[in-house]
Chain A
Amino acid sequence: MSAWEAVVGLEVHAQLRTRTKLFCACPNEFGAPPNTHVCPVCLGLPGALPAPNEAAIDLALRAALALGGEVRERSVFARKSYFYPDLAKGYQISQFALPIIEGGAVPMALEGEARSAALTRIHLEEDAAKNLHVQGETVVDFNRAGTPLIEIVGEPVLRSGAEAEAYLRALREVLVFIGVNDGNLEEGSFRCDANVSIRPKGEERLGTRVELKNINSFRFVRKAIDHEVARQAALRESGGEVVQETRTWDERQERTVAMRGKEEAHDYRYFPDPDLPPLVVDAARLARAEETLPELPAAMRARWVETLGLTAQDAGVLAAHPAIAAYFEAVATGLGEAAGLKPAKAGKKAANFVMAEVLRETATEGVEARFPAAAPEVAALLALVEDGTINGKIAKEVFAKMVATGEPPKTIVEREGLAQVTDTAAIEAVVREVLAANPKQVEQYRGGKTAVLGFFVGQVMKATRGQANPKAVNEILRALLAEG
């Protein structure tokens, strides 16, 4: 086994988050009743013609900028011909000889070390419909037909299942953060095929490759590739030859299985689609795409560590989801402004509260997230802690009430009388009462057993229902006990 080197290249199909399909005005939306998001164009009716969705092209440009690919000024849509019931026109509109994007790389971390995996190209294409098997019959749902995709073709530079998984996670993170894709593997909006071959270590020439298709989770990608590499190695070692074929991952049997007994040699007869003029992207359009490109997750994490005082680990947690990242930033900024804190201090405090309290009650779905309270309200709550109106413990109670009622923190604090007592005269009165009621402990303190101070603090807090400013209580206690 160790005599072999695995050579893996991934092809990812990522659905673009546009409102409508790539060549018609039908909604690009998952989960509608079958064949309700269809029209003459995506059904491939006689006479229907494709008209490109400019928004899809702009999202592809955004992906190019995020992944460092080079945008071709003039790219060409091509027809890829084959017969299959899920392909309405008998051809798929894709790009072939002249794709919109060439090169680029996926920035990834491998065992903590930053690395990047080169890309061959990224091209635009339309998705096919979906064959469904219902009561022994094959039926077709055309809702997905014509959905915009980018196919991201990676160079064969990955060397294991684990590397492939890291690559995919990093790629998905970037695409999700820039709003290009929703990263949903289960719904098939982020799909992966893997080309796997092996060669003796030190050998340059590539071995016969096997294409692994339809692997719909990160874990399965890793397992499928590792098993496939082992299978090929065992085959070669026992004197066999790897056959070029398409296989898929069988989770139950924990092995890859051939999808078709004999692979037909496909000639897709690509040629430029005469219905679509060359796609021209000028410098101005690329510049506009650059202006709207959101900050990439790696840069965001670095900035948070640098300027917001976060640990790398906390930055990782908060930047795992684009909506959560945006939420955290809003809380940190809001708190900094409201309480006049330096970014590093506000960032740290916002991060602690968001991770400890808010995330527990946050539900994410795709790229969306439902937060228990709006970011400005949470910032306002933390600002109340900073200005001493409430203490940290009360803040948690107020937050729970904010979640339950949807009211702003200030309203809750005022109505429930939760503001800290900082009035020294009022605190002093309570302290005197507590000291008078506990002469024995006063004796002990004055005898040098200063640890009983905590007992007095507890009693005072209890008497004020937690609202007394702990710092003031401490000071007054010490002063009165010293008086003798």
Chain B
Amino acid sequence: MSAGRWLDAGVVGAADAVAAGAVTAEALVGEALGRLRSDPHNAVLHVDGEAALEAAQQVDAARAAGEALGPLAGVPVALKDNLCQRGTPTTCASRLLEGWVAPYDAHVVERLRAAGAMLVAKTNMDEFAMGSSNETSAFGPVKNPWDPARAPGGSSGGSAAAVAARLVPGALGSDTGGSVRQPAAFCGLFALKPTYGRVSRYGLVAFASSLDQVGPFARSARDGARLFAAIAGRDGRDATSADAPSADWEGACARGVEGLRVGVPRALLEGASAGVRARIDAALEALKDAGATLVDVTLPHAKHGVSVYYLVAPAEASSNLARFDGVRYGLRVEEGGGLDAMYEATRARFGPEVKRRILLGTYALSAGYYDAYYLRAQKVRTLIRRDYDAAFEACDVVATPTAPTVAFPLGERTDDPLTMYLSDVYTLPASLAGLPAISTPAGLSEGLPTGLQLVGRAFDEATLFAAAGALEKAFGPLPSPVPAGPGEHAGEEGAS
């Protein structure tokens, strides 16, 4: 079998193949690098060929020497370009960080390296993770592999497109208000936004600190679980990192949903398009057929999620992005004048969406407005969290669509920020509540993927994996949006 087929076998499939000696890490990485370099979707910002090949040779040598291999040994993984990787450009798809090379590894990058993963590429994203379509990237939008005229979702659109187009079997993104879940839904993938605190944020360039979490993309729940297990866990460098016990998340994927109580907030479902609603109904039926029970729940404050999020997140962002001032690193624009002129000229290079949010956040934190906006938003945030607490008295997971529509056409919403913000309506409440949430494929609607979002209790990711696994079993895999094992990269190694 060619390296291409093994690359298409997913995270666990590729890791098993390397461990069994069916394919070398070097061949797998070589195949991935070839695909990444001819990426037609603008999903990739930087390909790290040399270092990845070197790492692959080390894995192969370790295997030859009979050493134990990590759970991701030899598996090519792509990183969203807001994760610091030592010696590699980390741009956040912004002019402000163009050319900046991170001098240190993010916690999740250290953990991936330790698990044997091959860090092959940095992926495109909305600038500083601010966007829902990947169109705010300073380096051009990402195209959805299912339909290049449509958005892949955002802000982790590059990571999603790279996995959907089978450039890599898995990738990491970051999720602040839905940034792994919504692109997963648009690209037909599995993605997890972990419980806040489950994964260290150290080395993730901050957007909104109280919301940001790093999460995996993969083509199956089990693949996602393998990646998640590698990156989860307490890190002393992140004071918000939790010391919560891990679980057998891979095993949970095969556990089934017998007795699982799935909460359905019927009122919220009405906001979705008819096509999406039909797929969500089918998914809920499938869970029921697999042994779950459906219960009605209400989340009365969830409707305020968008308002709350677009105060809290920009407030934190306005502060987090203050460090991009041209003094120490990244872009510095000097057009004469003093220090203030330098600050202004440099920070003028943020894109319009980033500027909009910095302005929003600065306003919300200003003296005289703080109580009315920021403080009030935090209070409503508490109410949203309590809604979930109440719902979890009656159910184990809360199900909604991940996004109200399928992937929308590129350019459709760029002039209408409010409509763009509303595409996050289903994902924001779980982010504000700090709860774990997955998006798992719910089948195609008019040829485009839809996603079911399941929100769980804090640190109960296992139940979410179980439900996703059950749904995958019921629905079978989605077709590939790209020709399987693209001919030009089929590999010279020949079939084995």
Contacts and interface: CB of A to CB of B under 8 A. Distances in A.
B315 A271 contact: yes
B303 interface: no
Interface in B208-230: 208-210
B328 A46 contact: no
A271 B322 contact: no
Interface string B186-215: 000000000000000111111011100000
Interface in B314-340: 315-316, 318-319, 321-325, 327-329, 339
Contact of B323 (A88, A274, A276): A88
A46 B84 contact: yes
Interface residues of A, number: 30
Contacts of B206: 46-47, 49, 275
Interface stretch (B21-29, B235-243, B270-278, B288-296): B235-243
Contact of A269 (B201, B236, B238, B365): B365
Interface string A280-320: 00000000000000000000000000000000000000000
A470 interface: no
Interface stretch (B44-52, B96-104, B115-123, B151-159): B96-104
B455 interface: no
A90 B202 CA distance: 18
A45 B102 CA distance: 9
Interface stretch (A78-86, A324-332, A356-364): A78-86
B210 A47 contact: no
Q: Which of B84, B319, B329 is packed against the most chain A CB atoms within 10 Å? A: B319
B236 A51 contact: yes
B7 interface: no
Interface stretch (B136-144, B366-374, B464-472, B480-488): B366-374
B319 A88 contact: no
A81 B239 contact: no
B362 interface: yes
Q: Which of A41, A269, A273, A277 is packed against the most chain B CB atoms within 10 Å? A: A269
Given A45-B329, A267-B367, A269-B365, A277 B319 contact: no
A16 to B, nearest CB: 18
A40 B103 contact: yes
Contact of A40 (B83, B104, B209, B325): B104
A26 to B, nearest CB: 13
A49 B201 contact: yes
B322 A89 contact: yes
A140 B326 CA distance: 13
Contacts of A52: 239
Contacts of B201: 47, 49
Nearest to A79: B319
B325 A274 contact: no
B239 A50 contact: yes
A279 to B, nearest CB: 10
A43 interface: yes
A1 interface: no
A46 B90 contact: yes
B180 interface: no
Contacts, number: 101
Q: Which of A44, A273, A274, A276 is packed against the most chain B CB atoms within 10 Å? A: A274
A353 interface: no
A109 interface: no
Contacts of B367: 267, 269
A275 to B, nearest CB: 5
A218 interface: no
Given A47-B206, A83-B325, A90 B319 contact: yes
Contacts of B325: 83, 90
A46 B92 contact: yes
A269 B373 CA distance: 13
Contact of A271 (B103, B203, B237, B319): B319
Contacts of B205: 46-47
A44 B239 contact: no
A371 interface: no
Contact of B374 (A44, A271, A275): A271
Given A46-B92, A269-B367, A271-B365, A51 B237 contact: yes
29 contacts: A40-B104, A45-B102, A45-B329, A46-B324, A46-B329, A47-B82, A47-B102, A47-B202, A49-B202, A49-B238, A50-B239, A51-B236, A51-B237, A81-B319, A88-B323, A89-B322, A89-B323, A90-B323, A90-B325, A269-B318, A269-B319, A269-B362, A270-B365, A271-B365, A271-B374, A273-B209, A275-B239, A277-B239, A277-B240
Given A47-B205, A47-B206, A275-B209, 10 more contacts: A40-B104, A44-B323, A45-B84, A47-B82, A47-B106, A47-B201, A48-B104, A48-B203, A49-B237, A83-B322
Q: Return the 3 tightest CB-CB contacts between A and B, nearest first.
A: A90-B322, A274-B210, A274-B209
Interface of A: 40-41, 43-52, 79, 81, 83, 85, 88-91, 140, 267, 269-271, 273-277
Interface of B: 82-84, 90, 92, 97, 100, 102-104, 106, 201-206, 208-210, 236-240, 315-316, 318-319, 321-325, 327-329, 339, 343, 362, 365-367, 370, 374
